[in-house]
């Protein structure tokens, strides 16, 4: 699925690590889905924590509409350096997930 932040976030290295693990296709797909979901929730949390209650409603409305350009226009008007804040939240989570995947690989 294409999210409004997809152009800023790269998880291919994490997915590649999953492919190096001794997992069934179903397990790999499930873990990739969990990674995607965790990342999505982390980014939404990072964005929502920067917005007022009124702006949260507007953001969620724009998110529901699915217009990426309207979402970015709104966020850039309301939050300074929102792209950097989204990238940082995502990078921190991806780094943590890399460590989790490495540790899981060692446990097998």
Mind listing the pLDDT tens digit for each residue in 5-39?
Answer: 888 787 888 888 888 888 888 988 898 888 889 99
pLDDT at 105 over 70: no
Q: How confident is the model at residue 107 (pLDDT cuts 50, 70, 90)?
A: low
- Measure the CA–CA gap between 46 and 40, rounded to whole angstroms: 10
Residue 81 has what DSSP assignment? T
Q: What is the mean pLDDT of the segment spanning 55-77?
A: 94
**The predicted structure's pLDDT at residue 7:** 80
Specify the higher pLDDT residue, 20 or 53.
53
**The predicted structure's pLDDT at residue 98:** 86
Q: What is the mean pLDDT of the segment spanning 66-77?
A: 94
Specify the higher pLDDT residue, 1 or 23.
23
Domain boundaries, the chain: 12-107
Q: Average pLDDT over the chain, rounded to whole?
A: 89
Cβ contact 98:13 at 8 Å: yes
Residue 97: count of CB within 10 angstroms of its CB: 19
Structure-token match 């940082």, residue found:
88
**The predicted structure's pLDDT at residue 101:** 80
């Amino acid at each position: 699925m294409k999210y409004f932040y997809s152009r800023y976030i790269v998880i291919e290295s994490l997915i590649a690590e999953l492919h190096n693990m001794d997992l069934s296709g179903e397990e790999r797909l499930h873990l990739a889905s969990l990674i995607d979901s965790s990342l999505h929730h982390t980014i939404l949390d990072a964005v929502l924590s920067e917005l007022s209650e009124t702006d949260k409603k507007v953001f969620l409305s724009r998110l529901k509409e699915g217009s990426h350009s309207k979402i970015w226009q709104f966020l850039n008007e309301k939050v300074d350096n929102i792209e950097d804040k989204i990238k940082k939240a995502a990078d921190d989570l991806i780094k943590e997930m890399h460590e989790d995947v490495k540790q899981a690989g060692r446990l097998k």
